[in-house]
Structure formats: C-alpha cells, structure tokens
Structure 1
C-alpha cells in the first residue's frame, strides 16, 4: 500500500459512519476533490456525492465555525444535469477541523445544493458555506446563489447534524 493522503482520512470518516450504521457503500467514482458512492438501504438506493475541506475558515467568534466548499463549473454541470429517476443524490460535505473529532458532516439534498449554488446562473466559481454556531441546533447553509441574510433576516437553509436523518 502506498502513502495515505489527507483525502483518505476524510472520506474514510464518512465511510466509517455508514459502516458503523450497518450500511455498505460502494465507490463508483473516485477522485481527489470529490467521490461518489452508491449506498443501498432498506428504503432504497442512494448516491452520495462527497467533498471535503480540511479546515474551517478563520474564526469569526469563538462559538462560530465556517467551512467553504468550492465547486468547479464542471461539477456544477454534473449537478445541473443529474436526474433522480432511479437513484436519489445526496451531498456529504465533510467539514474538517485540525482536531479531527471536532469535524462535521453536513448532508444536503440535490435541491438544497442547487438552491445554494444557483446552478442555472453561469459564473466562474460556485461555493457553499456551512456554519456551525455553538448552542444552536443544526447547521446553517448558503452559497453563491443564496444569501445568508435577506432584508436583515436569516435566509440560510437549516440542516440537522444527525447524519442519518435524511435516509429515513
């Protein structure tokens, strides 16, 4: 076996969560910047589009963490064209921390990702930002196509921190 890469640890943590839950994911598209897994459950088959960032953005405050995921135009084209006819697509955004046990995994649906990225608007780069605030339930999500504030009010998408809530 060759040397381990940082990506192996992040994708491995996602796979460990699935295996510990009794699921057996199969990789169908490997890569450094993203990986796509197939996951079969009693509730149906899913595809998991996984991306990671290895560290949060510099702290805004002690109780806030931000992670920013950059999507290339090619990745956005894949997302734009994906049809959920046979298999539902979810996104596992792995939010890394220096202390690995402080990392998060945010699970988003295809519609949530399309909303955050605004995939029908052409631009050079696209991003999704994940925010964790101490003392609040869930994570906040927004991106290039969805502002975090609209008219001074919270416009983020709230997602649960329970990794498996979307597969029920």
Structure 2
C-alpha cells in the first residue's frame, strides 16, 4: 500500500497548476525530496525549487497572513550555484490554508528575487523567505533575511502580482 504524505498534497497542487496551464513538469529530484521540477514555457526552460507551508503563522491581525520558508545551509549552497546558463531558475512557495485549501496561494519568484530576499552571500545559521498576504491589498509581499518587511516605517516588501501561469518571468503568484 502506498503512503500519501502531507507534502504530496502541496506539491501536487503546484503540479496540477502547471498541468492545467499546458505545461508538462518533470521531477528533477526523484524520491522523498521531490522539491525541484523542470518546466518549459514560452519564456524558456525553468528549474523550479519548491517549498510548502501548510498553514500561515498565527497573527494578532486576522487580515494579514504570513508563511515562512526556512533554508538550510545545504540548500543555500545549492542556490549559490544557480546561474542563468540557458536554464532559468524560479522558486515556488506553496502557501497553504490547512482548513480552507481552496484559499491557498502559490507565490513564484525569480532567482534574482529569491536571492534578494535571502541575502545569500551573508553567512548566518539560517535563511528564510516570508510571503505576506494582506486582505484587500493587491498582490503579495515577500521579504526575508536579506530584505526587511519595513524600512524607515514604510513597506519594504518585494511586491509580486497575483497572475495566472504560464508567466513565471518577473515573479508572479497563482491565487
């Protein structure tokens, strides 16, 4: 009997979105990991590094939801080696809503956007990217260990649109 893991539902939702938008994703890392997918679009071939969070963090403000994605030292070393050598790299963050799966989001960042949020050249024990959704606000905000969400009292998040695939270029969100 096959065991279905929680991760299968989240990564499966990303694969479903790809397939429903005419793409044929291939798993680059077979086995338990299954975080890296290859997809070809009109803009070229992408290798997409994927992470999921099953629920937003608990917040006092019920109109704001945040999902935090941590990166290990090994993951950071891998990302440092990503370069645009004919293949483009993107990052997909599946932002789950455990009790209301239909309200989940998938935020997609380019390699440059992810590097900006992570500050990959700064040595620290852990790196993270956080996706922020504010009710009534268009798009999503993204920040992390390399980019503060607030700077001098103003929003400093990287703003990404909620747009349907296949447009990966420029950082988009599937919502």
Query: Normalized against structure 1, the TM-score is what?
Result: 0.94
Displacement of 1:59: 2.5
Distance 1:103 1:32, change over 3 A: farther
Q: Please give the secondary structure, in 2, of the residue aligned with 1:10.
A: helix
Q: Please give the secondary structure, in 2, of the residue aligned with 1:76.
A: helix
Structure 1 Cα separation of the partners of residues 144 and 85 of structure 2: 26
Structure 2, unpaired ranges of 5+: 171-175
Structure 1, unpaired ranges of 5+: none
Structure 1 Cα separation of the partners of residues 25 and 67 of structure 2: 25
Which residue matches 1:54?
54
Q: Aligned pair 1:124/2:125, yes or no?
A: yes
Structure 1 Cα separation of the partners of residues 34 and 139 of structure 2: 24
Task: Pick which of 78-87 and 2-11 moved more.
Answer: 78-87
**Could you tell me whether the CA contact under 8 Å between 1:107 and 1:163 is conserved in 2?**
no
Which residue matches 1:73?
73
- Render the CA deviation track for 1:9-28: whole Å, top value 9, x for unaligned: 00000000010111100001
Task: Pick which of 75-84 and 7-16 moved more.
Answer: 75-84
Q: Aligned pair 1:6/2:6, yes or no?
A: yes
Displacement of 1:163: 4.1
Structure 1 Cα separation of the partners of residues 66 and 32 of structure 2: 22
Q: Please give the secondary structure, in 1, of the residue aligned with 2:13.
A: helix
Distance 1:33 1:148, change over 3 A: farther
Q: Please give the secondary structure, in 2, of the residue aligned with 1:29.
A: coil
Which residue matches 1:94?
94
Structure 2 Cα separation of the partners of residues 125 and 32 of structure 1: 22
Q: Please give the secondary structure, in 1, of the residue aligned with 2:162.
A: coil
